[in-house]
A and B are shown apart, each in its own frame.
Chain A
Amino acid sequence: MEPLRTHQGLVYPLNRTNVDTDQIIPKQFLKRISRQGFGQFLFYNWRYDENDQLKTDFSLNDPKYINASILVAGDNFGCGSSREHAPWALQDFGFKVIIAPSFADIFYNNCTKNGILPVKLSENEVQKLIDHATATNYTLTVDLEMKTVYDSQGFKANFNLADYPREMLLNGWDEISVTLNYADKIEQFEAQHVVY
């Protein structure tokens, strides 16, 4: 995983609440057996019509968002299915940071394991960002070391992220290697733990 310390990027506003992982990546694309190449299917049913043509009424298809790397959305983002294909698709499409008032637990976790930074801000702050990004080409900077989000016009907000995922993201660590350092402890545990 690539380390992520600060990120500056164009914001894409998705003004919807309860965006579930079935929307982020519909099931017909879950049949692949490698991690790559899911970006093309991101928000498929919103981006494409029955004939697999790009829809003009879905904002992400607007060429002005083509280089967006920060997604800002409504409450309870990533609810539903545990499919990690959702963060894989977001990442492959180019998103590195997702900002919302709240996230579903599994999705939130899945993001941090894939080098995507999930940022929780208040409803008010999120609404401001959505309004800005809808009106203009809007760039934000996210600083994971300082746990802040800011723009060049004076917007600034702090966010929280637990130390553990933060350290993982900052260093781009492979979690399994970290855990395997505890192999002895796992072995000791197994020696006294009975499972029927």
Chain B
Amino acid sequence: MGKPKTIIEKIWDKHVVHQEEGKPDLLYIDLHLIHEVTSPQAFEGLRLKKRTVRQPSRTFATMDHNVPTVHRNVIKDEVSKKQMDQLQVNCEEFGISLADIHHKHQGIVHVIGPELGLTQPGKTIVCGDSHTSTHGAFGALAFGIGTSEVEHVLASQTIWQSKPKTLNVKVNGKLGTGVTAKDLILAIIGKFGVKFGTGYVLEYTGEAIRDLSMEGRMTICNMSIEAGARAGLISPDETTVDFLRERKYGPDKTVFDQVAADWLDLASDEGASYDAMVEINADEIEPQVTWGTNPGMCIPISGTIPNPDHAKNTNERNEIEHALAYMGLEADQTITSVQIQHVFIGSCTNSRLADLTRAANIIKGHKVNSNVRAIVVPGSQSVKIAAEEQGLDRIFKEAGFEWRGAGCSMCLAMNGDIVPAGERCASTSNRNFEGRQGTGARTHLVSPEMAAAAAIEGRFIDVRQMPVPTA
């Protein structure tokens, strides 16, 4: 037995194509996912230099950021349409598989990768999108890249990377009833800040992480980037293997068990060492709500909005004051007194079948508050179909939710689904930046359950205190 290794080191060592003193390593990429917004300039670059795509079969494309979630046959926004058409042209020209807007596999890139079994333990995965960290839930080394790097990966199937430092995020204990993976990751970012992960790959470990479903793990890894880390991952176990059985692009049935055994071997070895470590107790975590303009600005549902007078330094004071002004909130106000006008259930953080099922369980037998406009946007067409087969669409619609087609939608409001200026949205997405959901829009990040509860009440409420539905 050699020195115990982390999964990060194991994956890294298996992918180094070239190593040289004073340079980053040249790392092989197993899976390259692309979407319409960050790829056009990369293909333009290839064409200008008369280059080809090295491994079209290791590249998979979909449309998600721009796609309308209603009236999908006629795309009214000319510029969006042009970008989507361009992706189609690029994929045809370079021989890349594409799930276009009408394809049954279309969806948010970070939802369809796992769903189709493209995402697997031990793979190196990149995409021109910061939430590529999501795929780390499977024990893959997955990170977001810029468009120049997209072009580089298309041309060479490799990327220059310095070996990252590793950070163990250990979550002890168990999450309480009504407290979800989303609350956990918000609490972690709230506690350690929006840049504690910068320069590291995070590995989430501990009892509460082991207990999570794959959907919960994806929610956690998804928001690693909100902690500053390009990648976050979780060692594979039986939960991972079970999820991947019989997926469309997964290993063939005949070799699956053998491949799965190799996956399990990737898990970090007992006694492996990390460059840094943080710890948090799951038992103490309550449902969370963000109050400010970055995901670290969050408080438990029993909490009050921070007061700039209690800031640690001038920078923090300025930041709190600025955020309060933008968000239209008062210092020391309880979060449960904050009224909302919009609810968005969707995004690559929380739009999978399990997320929608849990939200529907809260909604069942209730009505959306008359001051609230609420929408559900499934993460993929497959999620949408599966949800409809289980009748979730009916539960949402009967309560007064709009039931939409798959895409990024109101997470970044690029497709026309926006929150108007000055209005407030309880959102299951991952970023509450200024203007993210529309110019002047005010975003509060929450779990699907908390979003559902807020839709009914018209304000934030502890989902654990929701009345039991009548039906």
A-B interaction: yes
Most chain B CB within a 10 A radius of its CB, from A23, A28, A79, A83: A79
Min C-beta distance of A132 to chain B, whole Å: 18
* B431 lies within 8 A of chain A by Cβ: yes
Q: When each residue 174-191 of chain A gets 1 if its CB lies under 8 Å from chain B and 0 otherwise, what string results?
A: 011001101101100110
Check if B194 sits within 8 Å of A23, measured CB to CB.
Answer: no
| Range class of the A interface residue count | 35 or more
Check if A106 sits within 8 Å of B82, measured CB to CB.
Answer: no
Residues of chain A with a CB closer than 8 A to B155's CB = 176, 179-180
Say yes or no: A182-B26 contact (C-beta < 8 A), given A35-B44, A82-B130, A105-B199: yes
* B76 lies within 8 A of chain A by Cβ: no
- Alpha-carbon distance between A165 and B413 when the two chains are bound, in angstroms: 34
* B331 lies within 8 A of chain A by Cβ: no
* B128 lies within 8 A of chain A by Cβ: yes
- Alpha-carbon distance between A135 and B77 when the two chains are bound, in angstroms: 45
Of A20, A109, A180, the residue contacting B146 (CB under 8 A) is A109
* B319 lies within 8 A of chain A by Cβ: yes
* B40 lies within 8 A of chain A by Cβ: yes
Q: When each residue 138-155 of chain B gets 1 if its CB lies under 8 Å from chain A and 0 otherwise, what string results?
A: 000000111111011001
Of B44, B80, B250, the residue contacting A34 (CB under 8 A) is B44
Say yes or no: A106-B162 contact (C-beta < 8 A), given A26-B439, A33-B82, A34-B41: no
Min C-beta distance of A191 to chain B, whole Å: 12
Check if A23 sits within 8 Å of B433, measured CB to CB.
Answer: yes
Check if A23 sits within 8 Å of B435, measured CB to CB.
Answer: yes
Residues of chain B with a CB closer than 8 A to A33's CB = 40-41, 44, 82-83, 86
Of B51, B65, B439, the residue contacting A176 (CB under 8 A) is B51
- Alpha-carbon distance between A79 and B41 when the two chains are bound, in angstroms: 22
* A54 lies within 8 A of chain B by Cβ: no
Say yes or no: A76-B195 contact (C-beta < 8 A), given A31-B414, A105-B228: yes
Check if A76 sits within 8 Å of B194, measured CB to CB.
Answer: yes
Check if A18 sits within 8 Å of B152, measured CB to CB.
Answer: no
- Alpha-carbon distance between A40 and B349 when the two chains are bound, in angstroms: 32
- Alpha-carbon distance between A65 and B148 when the two chains are bound, in angstroms: 29
Residues of chain A with a CB closer than 8 A to B40's CB = 33-34
Of B31, B130, B255, B435, the residue contacting A26 (CB under 8 A) is B435
Most chain A CB within a 10 A radius of its CB, from B15, B24, B195: B195
Say yes or no: A84-B146 contact (C-beta < 8 A), given A23-B435, A31-B37: yes
- Name the prevailing secondary structure of the B interface residues: loop
- Alpha-carbon distance between A91 and B145 when the two chains are bound, in angstroms: 19
List which A65-97 residues lie within 8 A (CB) of chain B.
Answer: 74-76, 79-84, 87
Residues of chain A with a CB closer than 8 A to B148's CB = 84, 110, 113-114, 175
Q: When each residue 44-77 of chain B gets 1 if its CB lies under 8 Å from chain A and 0 otherwise, what string results?
A: 1000010100110010000001100000000001
Check if B198 sits within 8 Å of A182, measured CB to CB.
Answer: no
Min C-beta distance of A96 to chain B, whole Å: 17
Check if A185 sits within 8 Å of B18, measured CB to CB.
Answer: yes
Count residues on chain B whose CB falls below 8 Å from chain A CBs.
76
* B281 lies within 8 A of chain A by Cβ: no
Min C-beta distance of A141 to chain B, whole Å: 27
Residues of chain A with a CB closer than 8 A to B250's CB = 196
Of A45, A81, A110, the residue contacting B434 (CB under 8 A) is A45
Say yes or no: A18-B129 contact (C-beta < 8 A), given A45-B434, A79-B194, A196-B250: no
Check if B439 sits within 8 Å of A45, measured CB to CB.
Answer: yes
* B421 lies within 8 A of chain A by Cβ: yes
Q: When each residue 394-415 of chain B gets 1 if its CB lies under 8 Å from chain A and 0 otherwise, what string results?
A: 0000000000000000001110
The chain B residue sitting closest to A30, CB to CB, is B37
* B369 lies within 8 A of chain A by Cβ: no
Q: When each residue 410-439 of chain B gets 1 if its CB lies under 8 Å from chain A and 0 otherwise, what string results?
A: 001110000001000000000101111001
* B251 lies within 8 A of chain A by Cβ: yes
Residues of chain A with a CB closer than 8 A to B199's CB = 105
Check if B128 sits within 8 Å of A175, measured CB to CB.
Answer: no
Min C-beta distance of A76 to chain B, whole Å: 5
Q: When each residue 318-335 of chain B gets 1 if its CB lies under 8 Å from chain A and 0 otherwise, what string results?
A: 110010000000000000
Min C-beta distance of A11 to chain B, whole Å: 19
The chain A residue sitting closest to B24, CB to CB, is A164
* B277 lies within 8 A of chain A by Cβ: no
Residues of chain A with a CB closer than 8 A to B18's CB = 182, 185
Of B65, B120, B228, B322, the residue contacting A76 (CB under 8 A) is B228
* A156 lies within 8 A of chain B by Cβ: no
Check if A164 sits within 8 Å of B160, measured CB to CB.
Answer: yes
Check if B144 sits within 8 Å of A176, measured CB to CB.
Answer: no
19 A-B pairs with C-beta separation under 8 A: A17-B319, A31-B37, A33-B41, A33-B83, A80-B130, A87-B146, A105-B228, A106-B230, A110-B146, A164-B23, A164-B24, A176-B51, A176-B152, A176-B156, A179-B155, A186-B157, A190-B55, A190-B157, A196-B250
A interface residues (Cβ-Cβ under 8 A, vs B): 15-18, 20, 22-23, 26-28, 30-35, 45, 50, 74-76, 79-84, 87, 102, 104-106, 109-110, 113-114, 162-164, 175-176, 179-180, 182-183, 185-186, 189-190, 193, 195-196
User: A-B pairs with the 8 shortest C-beta distances?
Assistant: A33-B40, A110-B146, A84-B146, A113-B148, A82-B130, A82-B144, A84-B147, A196-B251
- Please name 4 further chain A to chain B contacts, defined as beta carbons within 8 Å, in addition to the given A16-B322, A79-B194, A106-B144, sorted by A numbering: A15-B318, A26-B435, A28-B414, A113-B149
